[in-house]
Structure 1
Amino acid sequence: MTQNSELRADGVWNWTIPALATRLRDGRVIKTCPAAGVCAQACYARNGTYNFPGVVERHQQNLQYVLDDLPGWQRQMAAELAHPRHRGGWIRIHDAGDFFSDHYLAAWLRLVAFRPSVNFYCYTKEISRFRRLVEPAPPRNLRWVFSYGGKQDHLIRPGDRVADVFPDEAAIRSAGYHSQDASDLLAVLGPAPVGIPANNIPQFKRRMAGRSFRQWQAERDTKRAARRTAP
């Protein structure tokens, strides 16, 4: 696990894999965010330092470890989580990527149960997978947020803890959301619903065109539905 500059300020450690999709050195192409929608067009984890060769290689190594030796990865992760620094602390699962398969999510659920003194949280667009595998018996030390901008937005229900990406802080307040900009932990510990200010990346801002991810995805879903029903 690692700590980026943002999470280090909160004492949070994180585990990560490549965002959206990647081609491994052996030629395998793996979709790591199968439920991604419009978020793929403005993904911070496909920009800037995430594209540095060393960062790309590390993320791919993490993914390959999971794919090729899931039991070994699980044992090593369990051992690392036993370190005293993690007791009572927080682990963010993924600052890039998502729970791309049932086996991978199940492995994380075993880890969470095995280390009850450690707190875990995540953002995910894998709503259907969480409905099936997590919600029937949710671990007490795992918190999650369904983030808008994915293909499964329509599965979000009233009462779900949700996060949406907005053009800026003013848009967050106007929508009645609560910004987590001061601390990433506010996503799971602060008031809901959660608003995330968009990264100040010009091409991403242009693509968002003043919309939140939820609005953007809804527009796309409506257009696709209209095309399917057109004579």
Structure 2
Amino acid sequence: MSEESRQEQIPGLLIPQDDDRPVYLLSQNGQLRKIDVWNWTIPAWAGRFEDGTTYNTCPSAGICHNVCYALAGAYRFKNVKRKHEANLRFVLDDLNGWEKAMIAELGARKFAGKWIRVHDAGDFFSDEYTLAWMRVMRAHPTLNFYCYTKEVVRFRRIVLPDPPANFHWCFSLGGKHDALIDPQTERVADVFPTEEAITEAGWHSQLGDDRLAVLGPSPVGMSANNIRHFTKRLDGRRFSEWQAEEDARRAERVARRDATGA
């Protein structure tokens, strides 16, 4: 399949020319298109622009970056990566301009009553960016916005005190702040090796409709993408289990260092 054919499969994906800003901000990936959900995407995790500038869109990512679906497959196609980086560059270079452009685009008739997933890849990487999204949401109270996020500390400090009424979120396990999440009082999601493992654990799958992560019963499970080298790394574990192992190893290293004074 040609790059042009792949591009045509993603409604709203219009690649910027030269250094121009993206013409369309929102698009639809294959899964979200089935349920008529639109999404905003920036590059996942850490990367480098062509001019050498580095970025990190997932500062609270933990083990998840080792098996991130947004670092594989179609997300690596040249035209898709270029579009996502253009989105991020717009935010970084002109946050106020991006906010106005997003508010204007969401006012189009085709988005009336729709659901918008914020971040098919990436996360709320700064306070200013998070606050800008909250203003966008309040500007369109008849739309519904949702996300998975590992920015637990940032959300508790900025979002939870006064969240937009049309904003729904789910804390995603596998990040640096897993230990701060309370599954008994907060909506959480975990990645499991299989759908069967979700059922066995007594969790609730969002298979069939991604919005179940924020609308369905909690806690929520999703099965890992069937990418061979990712499956090997996951090794039958849930993201939360793998993260707990890493956290324990890190704590042990710190304890040894403190004990020796090294």
- Counterpart in 1 of 2:226? 200
- Counterpart in 1 of 2:238? 212
What pairs up with 1:148-227 in 2 under 5 angstroms?
148-157=173-182, 158-227=184-253
Aligned partner (choices 132, 150, 154) of residue 125 of structure 1: 150
Secondary structure of 1:199's match? coil
Deviations 1:99-158 (A, max 9, x none): 110011010000001110110000000000000110001111000000000001111123
Distance 2:226 2:79 in 1: 24
Deviations 1:39-64 (A, max 9, x none): 00110000011001101110100000
- Counterpart in 2 of 1:96? 121
Aligned-pair distance for 1:25? 2.2
Aligned partner (choices 99, 107, 114) of residue 74 of structure 1: 99
TM-score for both structures, normalised by structure 1: 0.98
Aligned-pair distance for 1:187? 0.8
Instruction: Could you tell me which runs of 5 or more consecutive residues in structure 1 were left unpaired when the two chains were aligned.
Output: none
Instruction: Could you tell me which runs of 5 or more consecutive residues in structure 2 were left unpaired when the two chains were aligned.
Output: 1-25
Secondary structure of 1:76's match? helix
Distance 1:143 1:84 in 2: 22
Secondary structure of 2:100's match? helix
Aligned-pair distance for 1:20? 0.4
Letter in 2 for 1:18: P
Aligned-pair distance for 1:174? 1.0
Distance 2:242 2:154 in 1: 23
Distance 1:35 1:201 in 2: 23
Letter in 2 for 1:16: T
- Counterpart in 2 of 1:27? 52
Indicate the structure whose relative CO is greater, using CA pairs within 8 Å and at least 6 residues apart. Answer: 1
Number of aligned residues: 231
Aligned-pair distance for 1:190? 1.1
Distance 2:47 2:233 in 1: 23
Distance 1:25 1:184 in 2: 33
Distance 2:169 2:201 in 1: 21
TM-score for both structures, normalised by structure 2: 0.87
- Counterpart in 1 of 2:138? 113
Larger radius of gyration: 2
Deviations 1:168-204 (A, max 9, x none): 0111011111111111111111111110100001111
Secondary structure of 2:168's match? strand
Distance 1:46 1:153 in 2: 22
Secondary structure of 1:27's match? coil
Aligned-pair distance for 1:227? 1.2
Distance 1:93 1:79 in 2: 16
- Of 117-126 and 149-158, the range deviating more from structure 2: 149-158
- Counterpart in 1 of 2:10? none
Q: Are 2:57 and 1:46 equivalent residues in the alignment?
A: no
Aligned-pair distance for 1:7? 0.2
